[in-house]
Structure 1
Amino acid sequence: MLLVTLCSDDMSMEVTLYGRFSNLSYTNQRCNCILLELLDASVSELLLHSINRGHSMWMIQHCARDVLSALAFIHREGYVHADLKPCNILWSAEDECFKLIDFGLSFQEGNQDVKYIQTDGYRAPEAEFHNILAQMGLESNTECTTAVDIWSLGIILLEMFSGIKMKETIKSPQWKANSCGIIDSIFASKDMIFPAIPVYHLRDVIKSMLRDDPAQRTTAERALYNPFFSIPFAPHIEDLVMLPTPVLRLLNVIDDSHLRSEEEYEDVVEDVREECQKFGPVMSLLVPKENPGKGQVFVEFRSAGDCKIAQQMLTGRMFDGKFVVATFYPLSAYKRGYLYHTVVNDT
């Protein structure tokens, strides 16, 4: 079985394999099982939180870059994932990236040994044709290549942007007649929400993924050179709540009065440290006195699991007459000292 992931720093790595065992199924057949690392929210779950609204550009860019990097890796090795869909893309809190799972339908390009590939709603046109012939017991002269994965990702990104499931749309006669026009209309409807230039770049990269002719589709490596991936976006507060990391960010804990008095500042910092250590070892704690990050509290835990417990337990707590807001925070940004002053929701 092929196990592949790629993190946002473009360093490829295998999904952690903890062990393997065999088990008897309900039909008394022996099944071989593998035990992999525990991942967090899937893109499918994230889409449930963005129905009719869509995700932030930071979230879309992060997911697209990670998945394209993973696809570029497996495609260079000559493999097709063949079942790319939202529930097969999961967030890794420890590695701070999206990972691909479920390579049960994957095959080596040019050596397809799986007759029925891809999931309805994310199936490329050539895979649809291939599957129809397979159901009829006929051989197909159309080869399914790595381009089928690119098509699936294009649909996923369009759903993340629009907040709309595309399954019925891509089956409609209108889509078959003018898919580019439908994509244009989806993006035009959000011109007043998102800055125009990033939107146009994202629209263009999605269009390049959804060309009917697989030979005309972009590749994963080529797509990563799109200007969309060079634009710095800041995460929204919803992103920082949905994607766990080892770093906790607390709001409504420190105000100007605490910052003006060194004694009060030290007392609050010590109180926060003591409270957070109840949930797990605290590796570092930062309370900036100046912008960026002024008045925010950043707590780095030893593990994302400890941080998740702290976030659940501290959210909504009262501190000095105010409700505490607890979100996660990107570990990579925290380590670089990149602290967002404000996180504005423009969706």
Structure 2
Amino acid sequence: MGKNDEAVSQKDIKKSRSFKQRLQYPTLDIRKLDKDASFCVESASSDDNDLTAADKRPRENDDDGNLDYHIGLVMEDRYEIVSTLGEGAFGRVVECIDRHRDLCVAVKIVKKFESYCKVARSEIAVLEEINSLDDDNRFACVRMLGWFRHRAHTCIVLELLGSSTFEFLRQNNFVPFSVEQIRHIAFQIFKAVSFLHRNKLTHTDLKPENILFVSGDSDSNQQMHKALRCLDVKIVDFGNATFDHQHHETLVSTRHYRAPEVILDLGWNQSCDVWSLGCVLMEYYLGRTLFPSHDCGEHLAMMQKVLGPIPPHLLKQTGKKHFVKNEHLNVDKANSSDDAIQKFCQPLRQYMRTDSDEEKQLFDLLGCMLDYDVSRRITLEEALWHPFFCTLRAQQ
């Protein structure tokens, strides 16, 4: 939590549903960004912008805007490429040895097209702002170490982290995280994103692929499942982050983590990050996506199956009238996928594996995060005082 958070006592906030009460926190000043570093939608709403598994082969003769490179290439007479870490719509991430500092770093090599370069300039501006506001590295946001241009490609130098939480789940056969692991990971993420929100910044693309473990060290247990040695995580990919004063694109977030107000075109604010994180925590708990849909109508129908009916006053405000019938969700739009909805979705509380106090607290928190109504949805500042995090607050 921020430097002024100590002034807020636990008694200022009532328990459970009373977390809806808004708190007032001091906000740090931020400098205005140059117009040239404004948000670009080229990759903001893409559902295929996730990092893929690392490809260790040298790259040759790419014609899709990616840099041609080989293992051993030295960029700027400084950064020697030693492996490929991942790739996505934006370009590729490689591991490099920084010869000046004798340090292993990650370098994000952005495609040479101007639209991607514009997104990279925006990400650089955001990461510079984060470095400035969090100069003692207290919050779990990836640190930018520098940037440069190489053969018309913008390259962002970042601290080297471990695998993403999604990749860990995948390698672990999608065995869910324990409630205690979820608590530790969530507490760090909530503090980091709360820090962003206090400084008028919305990430807009929070998902397991964009939450990385600081260290990749793990052990195997008797079931051959990986056991993490360290639960420290950091948030990455700020290319689509948007300041409050910037233009807000209509469509943000990757599909499965997209808030209902975005789908219904009601406008969005920082609370769309809260919804995304609610979906992320459920994915950690289940070992699979909460809303496994690739269609907007089906997605909304899945929400209703899990969370109950969408409030009529929200449906009345939407410009997407084909989703509405008699002031209710037009379920006919999802009839073709009704089997999938019945197979994958059930009321939220029915997902609970046990009746323990910690699971009750987790699902109470999730209910507050996955509220359709933005005016009622919990903020992350409030969420940090939820009873689910009581033991971690006591430790700190």
Q: TM-score, normalised to structure 2's length?
A: 0.48
2:275 to 140, 144, 151: 151
Aligned positions of 1:158-307 closer than 5 A: 158-168=282-292, 171=299, 173-179=301-307, 182-187=347-352, 190-191=353-354, 196-231=356-391
Q: 1:117 to 1:201 in 2, by over 3 A?
A: same
- Tell me the amino acid that sits aligned with residue 198 of structure 2: R
Q: Residues 66-107 of structure 1: CA distance to partner in whole angstroms, max 9, x if unpaired?
A: 110001100000111011111101111399621111111111
- Secondary structure of 1:153's counterpart equals helix
Identical residues among aligned pairs (%): 29
Aligned positions of 1:1-347 closer than 5 A: 1-3=125-127, 4=130, 11-12=138-139, 15-24=142-151, 30-49=152-171, 53-93=175-215, 97-130=232-265, 142-168=266-292, 171=299, 173-179=301-307, 182-187=347-352, 190-191=353-354, 196-231=356-391
Q: Is 1:105–1:114's contact at 8 Å kept on the other side of the alignment?
A: no
Give, in whole Å, the separation in 2 of the partners of 1:51 and 1:225.
Answer: 33
Q: How many residues align?
A: 213
Give, in whole Å, the separation in 2 of the partners of 1:178 and 1:60.
Answer: 20
Q: Is 2:210–2:237's contact at 8 Å kept on the other side of the alignment?
A: yes
Give, in whole Å, the separation in 2 of the partners of 1:113 and 1:211.
Answer: 21
- Secondary structure of 1:12's counterpart equals coil
Q: Is 1:63–1:98's contact at 8 Å kept on the other side of the alignment?
A: yes
Q: 1:228 to 1:146 in 2, by over 3 A?
A: same
- Tell me the amino acid that sits aligned with residue 36 of structure 1: L
- Secondary structure of 2:213's counterpart equals strand
How many Å apart are 1:117 and its aligned residue?
A: 1.2
Q: 1:122 to 1:184 in 2, by over 3 A?
A: same
Give, in whole Å, the separation in 2 of the partners of 1:13 and 1:55.
Answer: 19
- Secondary structure of 2:247's counterpart equals coil
- Structure 2: give runs of 5+ residues left out of the alignment: 1-124, 217-229, 309-345
- Secondary structure of 1:168's counterpart equals coil
Q: Look up the match of 1:294.
A: none
**Cα RMSD over matched residues?**
3.2
- Tell me the amino acid that sits aligned with residue 59 of structure 1: Q
Q: Is 1:22–1:31's contact at 8 Å kept on the other side of the alignment?
A: yes
Q: Is 2:140–2:188's contact at 8 Å kept on the other side of the alignment?
A: no
Q: 1:96 to 1:18 in 2, by over 3 A?
A: farther
How many Å apart are 1:200 and its aligned residue?
A: 0.3
Give, in whole Å, the separation in 1 of the partners of 2:300 and 2:259.
Answer: 14
How many Å apart are 1:172 and its aligned residue?
A: 5.9
- Structure 1: give runs of 5+ residues left out of the alignment: 25-29, 131-141, 233-332, 334-347
How many Å apart are 1:115 and its aligned residue?
A: 4.3
Q: Is 1:42–1:88's contact at 8 Å kept on the other side of the alignment?
A: yes
- Secondary structure of 2:142's counterpart equals coil
Give, in whole Å, the separation in 2 of the partners of 1:13 and 1:175.
Answer: 30
- Secondary structure of 1:175's counterpart equals helix
Q: 1:231 to 1:51 in 2, by over 3 A?
A: farther
Q: Residues 219-256 of structure 1: CA distance to partner in whole angstroms, max 9, x if unpaired?
A: 01100111111237xxxxxxxxxxxxxxxxxxxxxxxx
Q: TM-score, normalised to structure 1's length?
A: 0.55
Q: Is 1:107–1:114's contact at 8 Å kept on the other side of the alignment?
A: no
How many Å apart are 1:166 and its aligned residue?
A: 1.8
How many Å apart are 1:52 and its aligned residue?
A: 6.0
Q: Which has the larger radius of gyration?
A: 1
Q: 1:80 to 1:216 in 2, by over 3 A?
A: same
Q: 1:109 to 1:171 in 2, by over 3 A?
A: same
